[in-house]
Amino acid sequence: MSDIAVGIAGLGRFGQLHAGVLNSLPGVRVAAVFDPGPDTPEIAARFGAPAVLPSFRDLLDFPGLDCLYIVSPEDTHEAMITEALEVGLPILLEKPLALSSAKGAEIASMAEARGIFMQIGFVLRFEARLAFLRDQILNGSFGRLVTFRAKRNCSRSWYDVYADRAHAVYETVIHDIDYLLWIAGSPCKKVYATQRNLSGRTYPDATMAILTFEDGLMASIETSWLVPDQAPANVLTNNWGGTIDAELEIVGEHRSARLRTLESGLEIWGDQYSHHLDAGLWPEINGVIAGAIRAEDEHFINIVRTGESSSITSVTDAVEGLRIAEAIERAAATGSIIEL
Ligand SMILES: NC(=O)c1ccc[n+]([C@@H]2O[C@H](COP(=O)([O-])OP(=O)(O)OC[C@H]3O[C@@H](n4cnc5c(N)ncnc54)[C@H](O)[C@@H]3O)[C@@H](O)[C@H]2O)c1
- Tens-place pLDDT, residues 64-108: 999 999 999 999 999 999 999 999 999 999 999 999 999 999 999
Class of domain 126-283+320-339: alpha beta
- Residues 30, 210: Cα–Cα separation, whole Å: 42
Whether the CB of 120 sits within 6 Å of ligand 1: no
Which is the closest atom of ligand 1 to the Cα of 10?
Answer: 34
Q: Ligand 1 test: best mutation among 8, 17, 21, 35, most atoms within 8 Å of CB? A: 35
Cβ-contact 107, 78 below 8 angstroms:
yes
- Residues 111, 86: Cα–Cα separation, whole Å: 9
Domain residue limits, the chain: 4-123+297-311, 126-283+320-339
Residue 109 C-alpha to ligand 1 middle, in angstroms?
A: 24
CA nearest neighbour of 75 among 166, 9, 11: 166
Q: Is the pTM of this model over 0.85?
A: yes
Residue 239 has pLDDT above 90, yes or no: no
* Residues 6+ away with beta carbon under 8 Å from 153: 222, 223, 224, 225, 226, 227, 243, 244, 245, 246
Residue 72 C-alpha to ligand 1 middle, in angstroms?
A: 4
> For residue 213, what pLDDT is reported?
98
**Mean pLDDT highest for which of 156-165, 226-235, 298-307?**
298-307
Nearest CA to ligand 1 atom 40: 73
- Residues 10, 198: Cα–Cα separation, whole Å: 31
Q: In the structure, what pLDDT confidence band is assigned to residue 1 with cuts at 50, 70 and 90?
A: low
Q: Which CATH superfamily is domain 4-123+297-311 in?
A: NAD(P)-binding Rossmann-like Domain (3.40.50.720)
> For residue 271, what pLDDT is reported?
86
CB atoms within 10 A of CB 111: 19
Residue 87 C-alpha to ligand 1 middle, in angstroms?
A: 21
> For residue 18, what pLDDT is reported?
97
CA nearest neighbour of 278 among 239, 225, 237: 237
Which is the closest atom of ligand 1 to the Cα of 12?
Answer: 21
Residue 93 C-alpha to ligand 1 middle, in angstroms?
A: 10
